[in-house]
Amino acid sequence: MLTIFVLSESYVSSLIVSNLPERDENLIDKAYEKIIQQYISKNIRTRNGRKELVKNFYNTDLPAIPHTKLRDALAHEINKVDLKNNRFKYDNSRGNRNENIIEVSIDEIINELEEWFLNLEFP
């Protein structure tokens, strides 16, 4: 499941980069070009950075990838995620409060990710 989330993030990153407007090297100073490249490189690596890039370059909002809390738990706190009968159970609350326990099937997650892919609209 973590692989599916990672591939989703990678897909968005490649979409963003491959659809950036062409920059004429004759019109942009090399120093400015380097700054632009660093800005893109820095922001493409994080969820909020990708949102910022899409907003700034495409003037639209990037829809949130479904179940990012589950993705984060699988990546960083896998011991806090239970998988039983093809259903994930994890804490969606902030901190360790256990006040918002989510239970979701693998099929639901995959369906929501497919829907998310279909609704990506940029550029």
Summarize pLDDT for 87-114 with one digit per residue, the tens.
Answer: 999 987 766 666 688 899 999 999 999 9
Give CA–CA dist 74/6, Å, rounded.
11
Short-list 39, 42, 41, 64, CA closest to 51:
64
**Each residue's pLDDT tens digit, 3-19:** 999 999 999 999 999 88
Q: How far is CA 20 from the centre of its chain?
A: 18
Per the CB < 8 A criterion, the answer to whether 70 and 102 are in contact is yes
State pTM to two decimals: 0.79
Distance of alpha carbon 23 from alpha carbon 38, whole angstroms: 15
